[in-house]
Each structure stands twice: as C-alpha cells, then as structure tokens.
Structure 1
Amino acid sequence: MLYRLREAGFGAYLVGGAVRDLLVAGNPKDFDVATDATPEQVKGLFRNCRLIGRRFRLAHVVFGREIIEVATFRANSDDGTGDREVENGMLVRDNVYGSIEDDAVRRDFTCNALYYAIEDFSVRDYTGGFEDVQAGIMRLIGEPEQRYREDPVRMLRAVRLAAKLGFTIEPGTAGPIPQLAYLLADAAPARLFEEMLKLFLSGHGVASFEGMERYGLFAQLFPESAAALKANRSGALRRVIVEGLANTDARVAADEPVSPAFLFALLLWPAYCRAIARLQKQGMAADEAMRLAADVATARQLEQIALPRRFSLPMQEIWLMQMRFGSRQKRRVQRTLAHPRFRAAFDFLLLRQAASGEHTAEVAFWQQTREQAGPVEPSFLDAVEHEDGEEAGGERRPRRRRRRRNGSGSTAESAAAE
C-alpha cells in the first residue's frame, strides 16, 4: 500500500500505534497509514477500498479479514470551509487537510505521532515522541485541558495505553483527568462500550482498572459500582473484580476466548449487590430482590455505557445463577447443571470464593456434582423440560404446589454482605 501510494506521487507513511509498538518490541495488531492523498484519491488507487465516516473521513482498504485504515493528513486549524467544527470545546468534525507537520501536532499523544517512511526507512518525529517512547512516558500534544475537551475519550486512552505499554502518564497529562472526568458523560455510549472492551479485554485489565480508579474515571463510568466499592469495608467486592480481571488477562495471554458478558458481570457485580441490599432493606423477599436488582443495575448502567442485550442478558443470567448454587434439591441441581450459563456462573462463584472465602461448601458441592454428572445428554434436557410442566405430547399438566423454600436467601444475604 505504501509503495503504491508513493509510486502514484503521494507521500505515505506507517503511523501511530504500529510504529510505537514496534519501537517497544511489541506486536502490532493494527496498521494505519497517513498520506497526503485525499480519501477519494486513495479509493481511486485501490479497488478494495471503501470510504467511511462523516466526522472524520477515512479510507478503509480491505485485504480479506484485515483492514488498513488510511487517513489524509489533517490540518491543525480551520480553513473556513465548515469542514472543521467545534461544539462546547469538543471537536465534532475534522476534515480540513494539511501537511505531515500539521498532522503530527493534532494527534493525541507524542508516542502516537511517529511516522515510518519507506523511502529511507526512517522514523519521522515532529513532537518528541521518539524520546518519550524510549523513556516510557505518555504525554499529550498541546495544552492538556483543551485536548481532553476536544475529545474526552482521550482520558481513557491515556490510561489504556499506559497500562498496555507499562508507561507512566506525564504529570501535566495526568493532572487534569480527575477534574475533567465528568466530560465523559458527553461521549457517545456506544463508543464508551467499545473503549471498555479495549481497556479490559486486551490483556491488561487489572492495570487498566487500577488506572481508572486512580484518576476517577471508574467512578464516572460505573457510579453505582464505585459507590459500592467505597462502602464495602471488607474489600471483597474489589477483590472479585481484580481476581476476575487477572483471570481474563491470563486467558488473553493464552489466546483463549473472553466474554464481554462475563466482563460486565464483574464490573457491575458491586452495583448489583448494592441494589439487592437496598431492595431487601425495603422489605422485599430475597429471590425477588435478586431478580429486580439485576434489571435495576443494568438500567442504571445503560445511562452511561451502551451495553447490547446480547451481553446484558447473559450477564444477568450469570448473576441470577448465583442463587441456584444454594439449592440442593435434586431436580433443581439437574436444571442448574443443564443451564447454558452454568460454566460461566460457576466460574463467577469461584471468584466470589477467592474474594471472601464464604462459599467453600457451595464450591465443593458443585465441583463434585459436576464431576459425577458428566456430560449432559439430550434425553436429560428433554426430561428437564417435562419437569417444567410439559408432557411429551405437548399438553400442560397441573403442577403440585410446594412449600416455598428459603434456599436462595443465603445467596442474597451473602451478595448483600459482599
């Protein structure tokens, strides 16, 4: 791509994270190109190109499952055409093109403003980024408060990249973050969801969580969970999150799959426990409180971050499965083993045990039961369905009333205690 652009008379450079990662002996997963060719000119050179974006016009060149993002050099000033718009200090449109020097100073961090040139195999540096990479420093380009107001998500990027690279955030760059964290309320909820996946599912979740706590970003984006963590004297709730994120980091390192549903079950577990405690304090029964708390915790979080239903529903199932682990009734045990979320819910129970040590008996019982049960056969699943009230012929049979058991209460009480 770089050679084709150059042969067509354009300047073209590998830019940003790929150059930064290669300098610290990393393994880049994404490659971005910066050029003086306009998006339309790029499209004219590559049949496998599509143009995207209105706020930032970009060219995506597709090679199978790989996408190379090509951005035209942006200017650092408004040319009066209306292609650069700022609302309340936030940059909402930026399609004024300029030189490579202009492009460098409008990028976010110095370590991301490095350009690899194919004509002489050099790294071009206009902002001091090369020295900052060598020193392991995250530094914003320009006046920090203004740059954060232009795009508040830069505060999350500072924490994420520092966690990923093991860098230190330079004091001038870090200083304004706690006071400006509230600006994230203006960011698009869908964009914040994507940022959470980058923060916590890239193999550096624990360091990202600690950074978000340090700079007040976690409290801004997860206010109910943050309030519950602050009020939890035993520290069990925080240990659940840290232990879970450490396990997630290990899975990423081993190239094993990770689940956004499980991630948000972790991050919102303190909020869920807090909601249970409030509802029970109002006199609600334990099992009813747990069910309603799942909806309450989810609804409140959606005000901050757009959590798709394909993740929020499994997240709630992981929570609600916790109440089942207190039951020893044979049929309920069989249904629990057959539940599609059993493995994830049991893994969550293991985290709770590691954090508080209060679930030893439950863990031992379900480990032994799972080993004895072996794989669940289809005929067993059919039997479970019939036990729920369906005869094989499809007719509904009357169910015998049973005395209500208090098996779920202990789980609700332990969640509230956590």
Structure 2
Amino acid sequence: MRTKTLDNPAALVATVIPRAEHTVSRNSMSENALKVLYRLHNSGYQAYLVGGCVRDVLLGKEPKDFDVTTNATPEQIKGLFRNCRLIGRRFRLAHIVFGREIIEVATFRGHHENNDEGESKVSKHSDHGQLLRDNVFGSIEEDAQRRDFTINAMYYNIADYSISDFAGGMQAIKDKSIRLIGDPETRYREDPVRMLRAVRFAAKLDMHISEESAEPIKRLAPLMANIPAARLFEEILKLLLSGQGLATYKLLAEFHLFEALFPQLAPLLLQPGSRENQFVEQVLTNTDNRINTGQRVTPAFIFAAFMWYPLEERCQQLMVEGGLNHFDAFNLALNDVMHRQIQRIMIPKRFSTAIREIWQLQNRLPKRYGRRAYQLLEHPKFRAAYDFLLLRGQIEGGDLLELADWWTVFQEADEAQRKTMLEVLREQQGAPARRPRRNRKKPKPKV
C-alpha cells in the first residue's frame, strides 16, 4: 500500500480488517486497558488500542504497554477517571494509573494550521525542522498520518473488535520491513529520535529498515545533537536494555548514530577487533543474556563500560601532559569523561554515583593485603566491580585476568583458605610479614 507524504496532507484511508480476519484478542490485553477502552466507549467517545500493543500481538509477541487513543480531549478524559493525571508540554497526554500499571491515553493528533507567517498557532518547529510543541487535535485519519511507522498505525476498535490499518502495516509485518509514514527526511527532522526508534524496532522485531527510510539516516544523524540529554537517557534504556542490545549497537554503528550518543567512545571503535570493540560487544552480549533469562541488570554497568576506555585514555593524557601521578590523573579524568558524557546523555545521579564506584574499585581491587580484601568484599558495589574486572581480564588477559581469577577463588573460599591465599600473596609480592600485635599494658591511673 502506497502512503501519502506529509507534503500532501490528505488523510490516509483505512483498510478495515474484521475480527474474524486478525489475531488480536481481548484475552491478550491488560484488564486495565480494557476498563479504559470500555469507559471511553460507553461515554460516547471513540476508543482504540494503537501502536506497539497491536503490532506485537500480530507478531505473536506479548505486549508490555497498552496505548489508547480517542477523540476525547485530555480534560474530558480526566473528567472520566479519578486516577488520571495529565502530563506533557509538547503534546498533552493522560495517564490512567492502576497501581504500578499506567495506561497512556492520547487524543487524536491533527494537522497544523499555519498563520500568515507560516508558523502554526499551536505547534512550533525549530530551524532544523524539529517539532518543539504539538498540541494539535484532529481525527483518527489525521492521527494515523502523524504516526511514525506503518506498523504502528493500526488501530484496534473496541466497538466492533476490528483493526483499521491506515498505512499498510499488515503488509509491512509480512515483509518484515520498517517503513516511515510520509517523507522520511521530513519525519526525521521533525523528531530525530525517530532514527533511534527505526533502529530499535529493526533489532527488536528482527526486521529491516526499508531502503527509502534508511537512506537519510547517516546524513541526518548529527541532528541528534538537538535532542535534550534527559530524553536521550530514556531512549538509551530502550535501545540497550531490551534484550537485543548487541544487534541494536551494530545498527547504531552502521547508521552513524552511535557516535552521536557516545562521542568519546566512538573514535576508539574504528578498528575492528580492537580491545574496545571486543569489550563493548561482550558487555552487551552478557547484558542480553541476563535480560533474556530474567536476571536483573543496571544501566550503570553499561555506561561504566562504554566510558571506561575513554577514561583510561584521558588518564594517560593527563599523566603525560600534566606530569600527574596516576591517582590524581585518574580522578581528574573521571570527572572530565563523566561531564562530557552527561552533555549528551543526562545520567541520573543514582546511576552516575554507581558508575564512579565501579571505576574507583578497579584501582582498589589489586590492593588485597590484610583486611583490605575483606573490606572490599563487603563493599555494596563489589559484585558489579568484580564482574567489570572479570570482563576486562577476559578481553585483555595477562595480570588483569590473574587478578580477576584470584578474586573468583577468594569469594568462594572458606576462612582458612582465604588466610592461606593472603599469606601466599604476600610472599609472592615480597611484602614484609605482619608483625604480631603486642599487648600493651594500660597505665595505672594516678592516685
């Protein structure tokens, strides 16, 4: 099905697929999403499930989020639900809160009505074509044209359980193709994050980006610099913590998007097979395995890994150029590298603090004499720092791998074995034997 571009604002025409001809069922939907749909419908409003939840069910996947769209305005939605809160400045949304589950409800978006100067009264674009404000309401046909990809423009109607396919989404699913609705360059300029979304969907859904949608990405990748750093943090979590992080990373690198997100690391990845490349790919492989087996992961670990070699490089530069010792150079480099990365991706303090601790422990883990080994074991971030050290050792080998192996054994050893390991370590390193403590008599109090 050929879609019309945004340069020609005529509404798309839906292909209506009756209930008997598709696999989307109310059994696959959240009970809370159904409550929202039925209350809107019974109150006289149109109500549809739209986007990823419809797409995922058609692909045989279990949907995680349920997005609702309607012709009710945000204020009308709020009037129907006591558990509703309105959010957003760029486009007003309603969040219906059911404990930990939030059902997002959006009013149909419409086309812009420009004034004599060519600027919309209720929407605003930047000089690069980026959409800055977009509180424009419209019809379902207009809403479909405003959506990004054809696979996300399918609407499940709670009134008769049919699907309205406005842009050939069903065919795109069959073709395993990610296609933008409208002119790709215009849509990417409106919101450069759509380039990240194209990559994420391609990796997540095991699909490919269509030729016309892929062509502008490399040229427009620098537009990512216009995206607020706080917004990019949320996008990074979706990209790298979805269980397909390695595949996503490779697509980001292919389309020159990775360097816009991690400008300090990207130059170190130009040589295939380098330790930096091996490290990044191994971290993402391990993260994917943990996610896909139901284990917990933290964004701090990935960010720590992505900035580690830039940190080492900056540390060496400060030592050579500034004549600093390693301790001072390392701490200065840590602050420099973190500051530069936060300019691109705003890392919340709870994660940036953990990143710093993982890095600082890399310098403390080689120092194992006496009580230090026991103190390190009790550190809250020991396990993350040990995993980090182990990955470094597996990639770089040598003394680093021996150190990681020592900590692997030490963790599992009993108390007697640990004491033996520490004594052997002292002898190997030529450290002086510990002097026994002398019991000093307390002085008698003067009468």
Scaled by the length of structure 1, the TM-score of the pair is: 0.85
CA contact (8 A) 1:228 1:274 kept: no
1:354 to 374, 386, 394: 394
1:322 to 348, 351, 362: 362
C-alpha deviation, 1:239, in angstroms: 1.3
Superposed CA offset, 1:194-226 (max 9, x none): 111111112111111111111111111111111
Could you tell me how far apart the structure 1 residues matched to 2:242 and 2:288 are?
7
C-alpha deviation, 1:43, in angstroms: 1.4
Could you tell me how far apart the structure 1 residues matched to 2:364 and 2:136 are?
58
Could you tell me how far apart the structure 1 residues matched to 2:356 and 2:272 are?
25
Partner SS for 1:330: coil
C-alpha deviation, 1:336, in angstroms: 2.1
CA contact (8 A) 1:240 1:351 kept: yes
CA contact (8 A) 1:224 1:270 kept: no
1:265 to 299, 304, 322: 304
Scaled by the length of structure 2, the TM-score of the pair is: 0.80
CA contact (8 A) 2:112 2:122 kept: no
C-alpha deviation, 1:373, in angstroms: 5.6
Moved more, 354-363 or 255-264: 354-363
Q: Which residue of 1 aligns with 2:152?
A: 112
2:57 matched to 1:16?
A: no
Q: What does residue range 52-63 of structure 1 map to in structure 2 within 5 Å?
A: 52-63=87-98
Q: Which residue of 2 aligns with 1:241?
A: 280
Q: CA-atom RMSD, angstroms?
A: 1.7
Q: Which residue of 2 aligns with 1:85?
A: 124
2:84 matched to 1:49?
A: yes
Q: Which residue of 2 aligns with 1:369?
A: 410
C-alpha deviation, 1:27, in angstroms: 1.0
Larger radius of gyration: 2
Paired-residue identity, % = 50
Q: What does residue range 155-304 of structure 1 map to in structure 2 within 5 Å?
A: 155-230=195-270, 235-282=274-321, 283-304=323-344
Equivalent residue letter for 2:324: M
Could you tell me how far apart the structure 2 residues matched to 1:245 and 1:234 are?
15
Equivalent residue letter for 2:80: L
Q: Which residue of 1 aligns with 2:30?
A: none
Equivalent residue letter for 2:135: N
CA contact (8 A) 1:229 1:270 kept: no
C-alpha deviation, 1:35, in angstroms: 0.7
2:340 matched to 1:305?
A: no
C-alpha deviation, 1:65, in angstroms: 1.2
Q: Which residue of 1 aligns with 2:24?
A: none
Equivalent residue letter for 1:149: R
Equivalent residue letter for 2:247: A
Superposed CA offset, 1:364-395 (max 9, x none): 21112222267xxxxxxxxxxxxxxxxxxxxx
Q: Which residue of 1 aligns with 2:73?
A: 38
Could you tell me how far apart the structure 2 residues matched to 1:103 and 1:223 are?
36
C-alpha deviation, 1:341, in angstroms: 1.2
Q: Which runs of at least 4 in structure 1 moved beyond 4 Å after TM superposition?
A: none
2:105 matched to 1:70?
A: yes
Could you tell me how far apart the structure 2 residues matched to 1:60 and 1:127 are?
27
* Aligned residues between the structures: 373
C-alpha deviation, 1:140, in angstroms: 0.8
2:162 to 113, 122, 141: 122
Equivalent residue letter for 2:107: T
When residues 72 and 200 of structure 1 are mapped into structure 2, their CA distance, relative to the original with a 3 A threshold, is same
Structure 1 unmatched ranges of 5 or more: 375-418
